[in-house]
Structure 1
Amino acid sequence: MILFADVILPLALADSYTYIVPKELEGAIGPGYRVIVPFGKNKFYTAIVLRIHQNKPENIALKEIHSQLDSNPIVNQHQLKLWQWISFYYMSPMGDVYNAALPAQLKLESKAYVSLSDDYQDLNGQLTPTELEVVGYLQENNKPKQITELTRDLDNKNILAHINALSAKKVVSIGQTINTKYKEKTENHIRIHPQLDQSTAEEILKGAPKQMALYEFVVGYLNEHNVTSISRKELLADGTFTPSILSAVLTKDVLEQFEVSGSRLNRKSVETNVAKQLTPHQQEAYEEVKAVFEEKDVCLLHGITSSGKTEVYIQLINDAIERGEQVLYLLPEIALTTQLTSRLQSVFGNDLAIYHSKVNDNVRAEIWLKMISDNPYKIIIGVRSSIFMPFANLGLIVIDEEHDQSYRQTDPSPRYHGKNTAIMYAHFQKAKTLLGSATPAIESYYNALSGKYGLVSLTERYQDMAMPTITLVDTKDLRRRKMMTSLLSPLLMKQMEEALANKQQIILFRNRRGFAPILECKNCGFTPKCEHCDVTLTYHKYQNKLKCHYCDASYTVLTQCPDCSESSLQPLGSGTEQLAEEVSTLFPDSVVARMDTDTTRGAMSYEHILSDFSQGKSQILVGTKMVSKGLDFDNVRVVGIIQADSLLNFPDFRSHEEGFQMITQASGRSGRKNVAGTVVIQTSNPHQPIFDYIKNNDYQSFFNAQLAERNMFKYPPYYRLIVIKLRYKYENNVSQAADYLAMLLKKTLGERVLGPAIPAVGRVQQYYIREIFLKMEMGFSVTQVREILKQHEETTRKRTKFKYVRIHYEVDV
Structure 2
Amino acid sequence: MIVKVVIDIPAKQVNRSFDYAVPKDWESAIKLGSRVQVPFGNMKRTGFVVDITDETEFNGKLKPIHSIMDYDVFLNEELIELSDYLAEYLQCFRISVLQAMLPSLLKAKYDAIVQIHDPVQFSEKVGSWYQNETSIDRKVLEERISPNAISQLKKENIISIEYQVINQTTQKTKTMIKTNLNKDQLMNALEKTSQRSFKQRAILEYFINNQAIESIEKSTLMTELEVSNATINSAIDKEWITTFKEMIYRDPLKDVSFQTNSSKTLLAEQQNAYDLISQSVDNKQADTYLIEGVTGSGKTEIYLQLMDRALQQGKSALLLVPEISLTPQMVERVVSRFQTGIAVLHSGLSITEKYDEWQRIIKGEAKIVVGARSSIFAPLENIGIIIIDEEHETTYKQSDNPRYHARDVARWRSEYHDAPLILGSATPSLESRARAQVGNYHLIHLENRVNQMPMPPVDIIDMTQVELRETANELSPELIEKIQDRLDKKEQVVLLQNRRGYASYLLCRECGFIMQCPRCDISLTYHKFDNQMKCHYCDYHEPLPTQCPSCQSPHIRTHGIGTQKVAETLEEIFPEAKVTRMDNDTTRRKGQHQKLLDEFSSGQSNILLGTQMIAKGLDFENVTLVGVINADTALNLPDFRASERTFQLLTQVSGRTGRGRLAGEVVIQTYNPEHYVIQFAKTHDYENFFRFEMKRRHLTNYPPYYFTTLLTVSSKHQGRASQLAYDLKAQLYNPELERKEQLYIIGPNRNNISKINNYYYFNLLLKYKDKTTIQRQLDDILNNTQQKATQGVYVNINHEPQYFS
TM-score range, shorter chain: 0.7 to 0.9
| TM-aligned CA deviation for residue 575 of structure 1 | 0.8
Query: Which residue is 1:548 aligned to?
Result: 535
Q: How does 1:68-467 map to 2 (within 5 A)?
A: 68-70=68-70, 73-107=73-107, 181=165, 183-190=170-177, 197-199=189-191, 203=195, 205=197, 212=199, 216=202, 220=206, 223=209, 226-234=212-220, 246-250=228-232, 252-253=234-235, 258-266=243-251, 272-290=260-278, 297-373=287-363, 375-410=364-399, 412-467=400-455
1:516 aligned onto 2:503? yes
In the superposition, relative to structure 1, how do residues 460 and 202 fare at CA in structure 2: closer, same or farther (>3 Å)?
farther
Structure 2 CA distance for aligned equivalents of residues 612 and 234 of structure 1 = 35
Bigger CA drift: 401-410 or 249-258? 249-258
Letter of the aligned partner of 1:285 in structure 2? A
Structure 2 CA distance for aligned equivalents of residues 444 and 559 of structure 1 = 51
Structure 1 CA distance for aligned equivalents of residues 562 and 530 of structure 2 = 14
1:36 aligned onto 2:18? no
1:602 aligned onto 2:589? yes
- The DSSP-based 3-state class of the residue aligned with 1:463 is coil
Q: Number of residues paired by the alignment?
A: 728
Query: Which residue is 2:469 aligned to?
Result: 481
Deviation string 1:779-811 (CA, Å, 9 cap, x unpaired) is x1x34422112224555666x798541111110
Aligned partner (choices 563, 576, 588) of residue 563 of structure 2: 576
TM-score (norm 1): 0.83
Query: Which residue is 1:790 aligned to?
Result: 779
Structure 2 CA distance for aligned equivalents of residues 80 and 447 of structure 1 = 29
Query: Which residue is 2:126 aligned to?
Result: none
Letter of the aligned partner of 1:260 in structure 2? K
In the superposition, relative to structure 1, how do residues 30 and 696 fare at CA in structure 2: closer, same or farther (>3 Å)?
same
Letter of the aligned partner of 2:402 in structure 1? P
Aligned partner (choices 655, 661, 670) of residue 648 of structure 2: 661
Letter of the aligned partner of 2:761 in structure 1? I
- The DSSP-based 3-state class of the residue aligned with 1:597 is coil
| TM-aligned CA deviation for residue 17 of structure 1 | 3.7
Letter of the aligned partner of 2:552 in structure 1? S
Letter of the aligned partner of 1:516 in structure 2? A
- The DSSP-based 3-state class of the residue aligned with 1:760 is strand
Contact 1:645 1:683 in 2 (8 A): yes
Structure 1 CA distance for aligned equivalents of residues 783 and 17 of structure 2 = 20
1:693 aligned onto 2:680? yes
Structure 2 CA distance for aligned equivalents of residues 221 and 545 of structure 1 = 64
| TM-aligned CA deviation for residue 103 of structure 1 | 0.7
In the superposition, relative to structure 1, how do residues 488 and 56 fare at CA in structure 2: closer, same or farther (>3 Å)?
same
| TM-aligned CA deviation for residue 5 of structure 1 | 1.8
Contact 1:734 1:802 in 2 (8 A): no
Query: Which residue is 1:756 aligned to?
Result: 748
Contact 1:519 1:571 in 2 (8 A): yes
Structure 1 CA distance for aligned equivalents of residues 592 and 174 of structure 2 = 27
| TM-aligned CA deviation for residue 303 of structure 1 | 0.5
| TM-aligned CA deviation for residue 226 of structure 1 | 4.3
Query: Which residue is 1:675 aligned to?
Result: 662
Contact 1:18 1:62 in 2 (8 A): no
Structure 1 CA distance for aligned equivalents of residues 204 and 444 of structure 2 = 60
1:20 aligned onto 2:12? no
- The DSSP-based 3-state class of the residue aligned with 1:402 is coil
Structure 2 CA distance for aligned equivalents of residues 44 and 767 of structure 1 = 30
Query: Which residue is 2:142 aligned to?
Result: none
Deviation string 1:490-518 (CA, Å, 9 cap, x unpaired) is 11111111111111111110111111121
In the superposition, relative to structure 1, how do residues 516 and 271 fare at CA in structure 2: closer, same or farther (>3 Å)?
closer
Contact 2:91 2:778 in 1 (8 A): no
Contact 1:192 1:254 in 2 (8 A): no
- The DSSP-based 3-state class of the residue aligned with 1:278 is coil
Contact 1:332 1:407 in 2 (8 A): yes
Bigger CA drift: 195-204 or 700-709? 195-204
Structure 2 CA distance for aligned equivalents of residues 193 and 428 of structure 1 = 48
Structure 1 CA distance for aligned equivalents of residues 5 and 567 of structure 2 = 55
Structure 2 CA distance for aligned equivalents of residues 741 and 326 of structure 1 = 45
Deviation string 1:585-630 (CA, Å, 9 cap, x unpaired) is 2212221111111111222111111111111111111111100111
Query: Which residue is 1:593 aligned to?
Result: 580
Note the residue ranges of structure 1 that are not aligned, 5 or more in a row.
112-177, 207-211
| TM-aligned CA deviation for residue 560 of structure 1 | 2.3
In the superposition, relative to structure 1, how do residues 217 and 54 fare at CA in structure 2: closer, same or farther (>3 Å)?
closer
Deviation string 1:726-773 (CA, Å, 9 cap, x unpaired) is 111100111111111111111475452111000111111211110001
Letter of the aligned partner of 2:217 in structure 1? S
| TM-aligned CA deviation for residue 369 of structure 1 | 2.5
In the superposition, relative to structure 1, how do residues 43 and 796 fare at CA in structure 2: closer, same or farther (>3 Å)?
closer
Contact 1:19 1:64 in 2 (8 A): no
Letter of the aligned partner of 1:596 in structure 2? D
Bigger CA drift: 567-576 or 637-646? 567-576
Deviation string 1:223-268 (CA, Å, 9 cap, x unpaired) is 4694354334445779x96xxx723434544797834212215498
Contact 2:23 2:64 in 1 (8 A): no
1:809 aligned onto 2:794? no
Query: Which residue is 1:774 aligned to?
Result: 766
Structure 1 CA distance for aligned equivalents of residues 704 and 194 of structure 2 = 82
Letter of the aligned partner of 2:56 in structure 1? N
Query: Which residue is 2:131 aligned to?
Result: none
Aligned partner (choices 614, 639, 644) of residue 652 of structure 1: 639
Letter of the aligned partner of 2:266 in structure 1? L
| TM-aligned CA deviation for residue 453 of structure 1 | 0.4
Structure 2 CA distance for aligned equivalents of residues 88 and 649 of structure 1 = 35
Contact 1:547 1:554 in 2 (8 A): yes
Contact 2:172 2:250 in 1 (8 A): no
Structure 1 CA distance for aligned equivalents of residues 431 and 495 of structure 2 = 29
Deviation string 1:622-644 (CA, Å, 9 cap, x unpaired) is 11110011111111011110111
| TM-aligned CA deviation for residue 193 of structure 1 | 10
Query: Which residue is 1:537 aligned to?
Result: 524
Structure 1 CA distance for aligned equivalents of residues 515 and 605 of structure 2 = 35
| TM-aligned CA deviation for residue 522 of structure 1 | 2.0
Letter of the aligned partner of 2:75 in structure 1? V
| TM-aligned CA deviation for residue 33 of structure 1 | 2.2
Bigger CA drift: 383-392 or 252-261? 252-261
Structure 1 CA distance for aligned equivalents of residues 29 and 319 of structure 2 = 35
In the superposition, relative to structure 1, how do residues 480 and 273 fare at CA in structure 2: closer, same or farther (>3 Å)?
closer
| TM-aligned CA deviation for residue 367 of structure 1 | 2.4
